[in-house]
Chain A
Amino acid sequence: MKIKWTFLMIIFTIVTVLTGCEPLMVLDPKGPQAERQAGDILLSIGIMSGIVIIVFAILIYVLIKYRASNLPEDYEPPHMEGNFWVELICVGVPIIIVAFFSFVSVKSNYIVESAPVGYEEQEPLVIYASSSNWKWHFSYPEQDIETVNYLYIPTDRPIEFKLYSYGPITSFWIPQLGGQKYAMADMVTTLHLAADEIGEYMGRNANFSGKGFAENSFNVTAMTADDFDDWVEEVKETAAPLTEKKFDEILEPGHLGQMTFTGTHLEFSPAPEHDHGTSETEETDESHEEHSHSEANHSEHEGH
């Protein structure tokens, strides 16, 4: 384990030096999920560099040794069919490498799809993050407040994002906290993140969604739990309530600055909730029933 991390640190240093002073966002994780992903990335870069170097070495050796001008005029290349043992090695070694990566990949899949490592015991803060052309809406049902285009989160508490979209498919991404996940109009997806450190992070929609896509980003501020509670209090005292009319106005295509409201839009415009791909697999059957049920309701509703 120790060797692995020393190895990763060496690669990390090389990558950092090569790319100038500031570390690359994805390789500068501030939460457990992003850390796992950065670890996988660096590990694969390391092993893959080895493979690339081997191929380069063989190629260069062959090209120098067997270039026509380095060979006698009358040299006749031999007829070579395949060799069983050579080809077995050519198959066997890649299989071992791929098997190793498969193992890492499967393990990481289950890790990034469940509550962040080290935060399993705590009650997650649920935030509904929904996109509309070209904004992000963050609803905090527990606190009963809503923000537009900015996100405040407490550190040292797991966060469960419920993602969906009022429009094209978008992808919710805060590189330094963890990888992205799609937000779609007809279902809710769940993304588990957590922030270890206080700080400001970039968040954006990573999936092309039309004309305003480039500017479809938001600021993330991670703060201590106390600061977060203070902020919630402040919002409750100062912000205006979110009405359905106001929300419909906000949904209109375009760009908006940051906005803050009390209340959430979940009350009058609920999320299309039927969980696809949460980590709790035992829930799947149930949610599928719910799915068809709510859809039937939905179409009935549309009929009126």
Chain B
Amino acid sequence: MEFFERFAIPHPSPAIYASMVVIALTVIAIIAGLTYFKKWGYLWREWLTTVDHKRLGLMYIISAILMLFRGGVDAIMMRAQLATPDSKLLDAQHYNEIFTTHGVVMIMFMAMPFIFGFMNYIVPLQIGARDVAFPRLNAISFWLFFMGAMLFNISFVIGGSPDAGWTSYFPLAGTEFSESVGTNYYMIALQISGLGSLMTGINMITTILKMRAPGMTLMKMPMFTWSTLVANLIIVTVFPVLTVALAMGTMDRLFATNFFTSSNGGMDMLWANLFWVWGHPEVYILILPAFGLYSEIISTFSSKNLYGYTSMVASMVIISVLSCLVWAHHFFTMGQGAASNSFFSITTMAIAVPTGVKIFNWLFTMWKGKIRFTVPMLYSIGFIPLFTIGGVTGVMLAMSAADYQYHNTMFLVAHFHNTIIPGVVFAMLAGLTYYWPKMFGFMLNERIGKWTFWALSIGFVLAFFPMYITGLDGQARRMYTYSESTGFGPLNMLSFIGAGIMAIGFVLIVYNIYYSIRYAPRNIGSDPWDARTLEWATHTPVPEYNFAITPAVNSVEPFWDAKKKKHVLFPEPLKKIHMPNNSGMPFILSAIFFVWGFSFVFAIWPLVIIATLGIFACLASRSFENDHGRYISLEEVEETEEKLGGAKK
């Protein structure tokens, strides 16, 4: 009986039982639907076994949008709880679980896959490649992320969610103070998806360094590709730290080691240090590709090349180096003394310089341009002032003496949402709208898109700017309630209203997708935005081999040159094309990882051993497999090109 008790929810509420029912019904509906429409084969052949970077990219993005709503529901519940003083909507435990999962889901399972989705979809197209360097590894990366995300998400219906914050500080996250299996889920799920991220890092770096089209030197790469390269270098540098920290945390929880405990020689702040050695660069892993997307979009819709290309690249490289030198600013108040705080204070502020350069370069890109106010451009324009505010409050927080007053308050919460939402989330939505026609062959509705932008921007300002004020008034973060005498009530109500308006914005996105699927015209050609880089030079929909002929690159904007300066993009004749084979192994391997993770969370050791053997069996079978890929014959290439409206010149 004790065995089964662990699977029960420690703090059940009607909302959780309701979600159990909804999850069960959804699963049944999906299985029934697939069976009824006889889509199992299609699903397996076209999606579960695919190694195509475009399909994997789409699956990343779809997962990210689903997780955006999961994390968004958490956010709304938090704001609803705090909207009024002494609210009884949620109890402390439930609130703690919600803000923990909100943080983890939004960073690890929304922002990261969203960015990986764009990297996957766009980078090979931008550099004129047929796929990434290691297509099958790419599929493993995706499925490991997906299984990690699913494992994390079942926590709230089986065994209980983690409740120690997304930072999971020990000893609070240790077994002494966090008895349920929630934090096990955190440790294992992040470990599994983190492995995927690390592999993506290796894959993307190799792809960008080795697979660029002839003529594309490093300093002729499009800015998004540059940002991807830099972000993935950071990933490869810092994700191993997370891997180690999570392994140590797992051992503390399951094997009674004492790395982070407060007795027997453990050091609780060691976890905080390791976590932020990964955690701070992590925010640059998120923001740099977002900067890359903004660079592409601003340049396209200003009908002008990107201003200060070299300084843009240099500033990203400098940011990536500095990002690894600032982690202790997350705990200036640990008591490490004035000298140490001064060092981290200065390195942190120094990041403002390269970031400022980027902001001014975007402004100068628009300068003397011909600005079209499309939806992607609106997000980019909204990003500049809002992110500037987020950035300057970052400099304020970097002043360590003053940070003693900001730390752990709503001021900090306002700051990082002020960078992540206009910085990353706006970039993702801008990128989604911008690349949607390339992905699906029709545009999203501009009018609904503009409504969405305004709802999100106004909602954002209403939701987060009041937090700067309540933070300075002494409202600590992560408090599940506050008394009326504090006077935080009205401003928190305003935040709730803002969050509601943002929620409307996100629902509008879904409506826009539905509306555009039904009504949007399909005859938009392959370059609807009058863009400048290679990804727009191929057909829409993109054939599986991306480019029938490898493009020849002469500048940062080869496609623009082809349109304006008669640059010949595709000088060679058509040839047969070598492509990788599909494989079911990534999915099977990752599914075994899911079982491994689940049994690890509940310490079901026989199953852990079986799953571990399964994982090694998968690896071994790959070593003995003889797979040299396949060729698409010349006739087939010609036929496809003909069907898509003739070969590109």
Contacts and interface: CB of A to CB of B under 8 A. Distances in A.
Most chain B CB within 10 A, of A19, A206, A276, is at: A206
B303 interface: yes
B637 interface: no
B384 A80 contact: no
Interface stretch (A2-10, A67-75, A219-227, A236-244): A67-75
Interface in B347-361: 349-350, 352-353, 356-357, 359-361
B369 interface: yes
Interface stretch (A123-131, A136-144, A149-157, A172-180): A172-180
Contacts of B612: none
B567 to A, nearest CB: 14
Interface residues of B, number: 93
B605 interface: no
A37 B395 contact: no
B388 interface: yes
A228 interface: no
B302 A26 contact: no
Nearest to B389: A52
Interface stretch (B140-148, B231-239, B400-408): B400-408
Nearest to A82: B308
A37 B404 contact: yes
B335 A101 contact: no
B474 interface: yes
Interface string B260-296: 0011111111001000000000000000000000000
Given A66-B302, A277-B334, A211 B93 contact: yes
Most chain B CB within 10 A, of A24, A63, A109, A171, is at: A109
Given A19-B469, A108-B402, A214 B481 contact: yes
Contacts of A34: 405
A180 B478 contact: no
B345 interface: yes
A62 B516 CA distance: 32
Interface string A92-115: 001101100110111011111100
B641 interface: no
Interface in B65-115: 92-93, 96
A179 B171 contact: no
Contacts of B171: 167-169, 185
Contacts of A205: 476
A45 B369 contact: no
A198 to B, nearest CB: 20
A79 B92 contact: no
A213 B395 contact: no
Contacts of A95: 353
Contact of A169 (B172, B310, B349): B172
B400 A279 contact: no
A101 B349 contact: yes
Contacts of A101: 349, 395, 398-399
Interface string A28-50: 00000010111011001100100
B346 A102 contact: yes
B58 to A, nearest CB: 31
Interface string B388-424: 1100110110111111110111000000000000000
B511 interface: no
B464 to A, nearest CB: 15
Nearest to B100: A208
Interface in B314-335: 331, 333-335
Interface string B184-225: 000000000000000000000000000000000000000000
A186 B262 contact: yes
A208 B95 CA distance: 12
A87 interface: yes
B646 interface: no
Contact of B311 (A25, A82, A102, A202): A82
Interface in B599-638: none
B523 interface: no
Contacts of A55: 359, 363, 384-385, 388
Contacts of B17: none
Nearest to A80: B307
A170 to B, nearest CB: 10
Interface string B347-384: 00110110011011101101111111100000001001
Contacts of A168: 169, 171-172, 177
B342 A105 contact: yes
Contacts, number: 289
A169 B339 CA distance: 23
Nearest to A275: B335
Contacts of B361: 82, 87, 90
A108 B399 contact: yes
Nearest to A112: B401
B304 interface: yes
B353 A82 contact: no
A179 B473 contact: no
B367 A181 contact: no
B521 interface: no
Contacts of B340: 277
A98 B352 contact: yes
A211 B331 CA distance: 22
Given A77-B303, A181-B404, A210-B177, A110 B338 contact: yes
Nearest to B402: A40
A91 B357 contact: yes
A51 B165 CA distance: 34
B338 A56 contact: no
Nearest to B271: A169
B364 A86 contact: yes
A91 B353 contact: yes
A281 B335 contact: no
A133 B476 CA distance: 17
A48 B333 contact: no
A41 B308 contact: no
A111 B401 contact: yes
B305 interface: yes
B268 A41 contact: no
B472 A24 contact: yes
Contacts of A187: 335
Contact of B479 (A38, A179, A202, A213): A213
A206 B392 contact: no
B47 interface: no
Contacts of B303: 68, 76-77
A105 B392 contact: no
B482 interface: yes
Contacts of B408: 171, 173, 180, 206-208
A278 B336 CA distance: 8
Contacts of A77: 302-304, 368-370
Contact of A94 (B352, B393, B396): B352
B264 A302 contact: yes
A250 interface: no
Contacts of A270: none
Given A79-B305, A179-B405, 4 more contacts: A77-B304, A163-B335, A184-B334, A190-B335
Interface of A: 19, 22, 24-27, 34, 36-38, 40-41, 44-45, 48, 51-52, 55-56, 58-59, 62-63, 66-68, 71, 75-82, 86-87, 90-91, 94-95, 97-98, 101-102, 104-106, 108-113, 133, 163, 165, 167-169, 171, 173, 175, 178-182, 184-187, 189-190, 202, 204-214, 276-279, 281, 295, 299, 302
Interface of B: 92-93, 96, 163-165, 169, 171-172, 177-178, 262-269, 272, 302-305, 307-311, 331, 333-342, 345-346, 349-350, 352-353, 356-357, 359-361, 363-364, 366-373, 381, 384-385, 388-389, 392-393, 395-396, 398-405, 407-409, 469, 472-474, 476-482, 487
26 contacts: A25-B474, A26-B474, A36-B401, A41-B402, A41-B472, A44-B402, A48-B396, A52-B389, A52-B392, A59-B381, A68-B303, A79-B305, A82-B361, A87-B357, A90-B361, A91-B311, A102-B345, A106-B338, A109-B341, A109-B345, A113-B338, A180-B408, A182-B331, A208-B478, A210-B163, A213-B480
